[in-house]
């Protein structure tokens, strides 16, 4: 018994000792976690080093004006005002010959001139700006010779594939946060895919429907618009476009495949494809709102643009468009915007409207969208 007890005690001692040794291995586990964190940090650092020089700041330049200044002591003098630049957005280089991608709403004011600045402080005038009427995308062209001055060559980003993204995937955003802090880097994950939002421009005050966008919790602020959303390989998977007001860590990006499709057309034709235009601003009525007001569910017209196809066809404010080409119009089928965007310039669209308790059919010929 004693021997056995000794053996038993020895076995127990061995096991306790074994646990003691395992306890000493915990720092090794912590080291593994620490190594993982270091690797993630290294990934971000490597991506920023690689892609950072390709991310640009877009600035708006106010036009110069001659003014007359009156002196309190009599007389006057002539001077100038304007000509100052304000950082308003971001962008990224997509070709070495000087093509920069940004958001359309960043450069929507055609009365202004625009500049592009790289992370090293080099500044270039925007020679031409092409705006995609179908998406919140624009291409800024800068002078290739100017871009290569002083031995500097623009480095294009690598465009990834947004078709195989996964919720929870790690992402990195780079841009000019708040129009003040250039090349700000933030990280997060993909929070959702295939979102649909109504996005408004901080600078121009218009609202645009954006479908199939990427949702992320990476910190994106006004001024980040047009900047890239990147995966851990440094590939651009989206172009940052909007943030949710009154909420934290809810931002959206246009999938890069949408951008690539638009770029391919632009490079082939030298312009973006024309967009069909209706000219009616609307708000989709929910099922509950329609039932409560005893009206059909559809698009409630809140404004009609002067001279638009909608006005010429007789669409009026307060009309409810509840059928298009004989099909019920609901949010689930993308609303009126998606229906119109699926049409070509010059094609007709049959609308069934509800006005003062009566149905009426109207045929509209869509024209080219005005930018």
Q: Mind telling me the catalytic residues?
A: 105, 136, 225
Residue for token pair 């919720």: 167
Phi and psi dihedrals of 3, rounded to 5? -60, -45
Beta-bridge mates of residue 185: 174
Structure tokens at 311: 């006005």
CB 93 within 8 A of CB 152: no
CA dihedral 45, 226, 116, 126 (to 10 degrees): 150
CB 182 within 8 A of CB 57: yes
Residues 6+ apart with CB under 8 A from 307: 279
Q: In terms of residues, how long is the chain?
A: 371
Selection from 339, 346, 304 nearest residue 324 by Cα: 339
CB 297 within 8 A of CB 332: no
Distances (CA, A) of 284 to 46, 303, 328: 45, 13, 12
Structure tokens at 274: 């024309």
Selection from 196, 226, 199, 189 nearest residue 212 by Cα: 196
CB 353 within 8 A of CB 319: yes
Distances (CA, A) of 14 to 1, 18, 46, 261, 283: 19, 6, 47, 67, 75
CA geometry: angle 245, 249, 255, nearest 5 deg: 90
Structure tokens at 266: 């632009």
**Separation between Cα atoms, residue 287 and residue 219, nearest integer Å:** 34
Selection from 91, 174, 179, 177 nearest residue 140 by Cα: 91
Phi and psi dihedrals of 347, rounded to 5? -75, 155
């Amino acid at each position: 018994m004693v021997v056995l007890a000794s053996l038993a005690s020895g076995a127990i001692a061995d096991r306790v000792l074994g646990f003691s040794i395992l306890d000493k291995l915990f720092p090794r586990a912590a080291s593994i976690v620490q190594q993982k964190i270091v690797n993630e940090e290294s990934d971000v650092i490597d991506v920023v080093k690689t892609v950072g020089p390709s991310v640009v700041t877009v600035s708006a330049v106010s036009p110069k004006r001659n003014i007359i200044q009156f002196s309190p002591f009599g007389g006057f003098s002539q001077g100038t005002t304007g000509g100052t630049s304000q950082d308003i957005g971001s962008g990224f280089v997509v070709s070495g010959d000087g093509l920069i991608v940004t958001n359309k709403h960043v450069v929507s004011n055609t009365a202004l001139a625009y500049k592009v600045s790289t992370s090293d402080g080099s500044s270039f005038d925007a020679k031409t700006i092409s705006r995609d009427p179908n998406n919140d995308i624009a291409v800024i062209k800068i002078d290739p010779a100017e871009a290569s001055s002083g031995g500097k060559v623009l480095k294009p980003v690598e465009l990834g594939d947004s078709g195989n993204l996964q919720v929870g995937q790690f992402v990195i955003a780079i841009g000019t946060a708040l129009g003040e802090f250039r090349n700000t880097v933030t990280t997060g994950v993909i929070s959702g895919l295939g979102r649909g939002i109504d996005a408004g421009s901080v600078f121009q005050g218009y609202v645009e429907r954006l479908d199939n966008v990427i949702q992320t919790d990476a910190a994106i602020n006004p001024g980040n618009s047009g900047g890239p959303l990147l995966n851990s390989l440094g590939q651009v998977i989206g172009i940052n476009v909007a943030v949710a007001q009154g909420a934290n860590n809810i931002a959206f990006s246009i999938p890069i495949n949408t951008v690539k499709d638009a770029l391919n057309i632009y490079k082939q034709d030298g312009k973006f494809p024309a967009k069909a235009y209706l000219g009616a601003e609307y708000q989709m009525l929910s099922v509950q709102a329609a039932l409560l007001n005893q009206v059909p569910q559809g698009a409630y017209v809140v404004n009609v643009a002067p001279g638009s196809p909608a006005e010429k066809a007789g669409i009026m404010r307060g009309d409810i468009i509840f059928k298009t080409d004989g099909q019920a119009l609901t949010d689930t089928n993308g609303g009126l915007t998606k229906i119109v965007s699926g049409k070509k310039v010059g094609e007709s669209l049959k609308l069934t409207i509800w006005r003062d308790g009566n149905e009426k059919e109207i045929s509209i010929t869509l024209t080219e969208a005005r930018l």
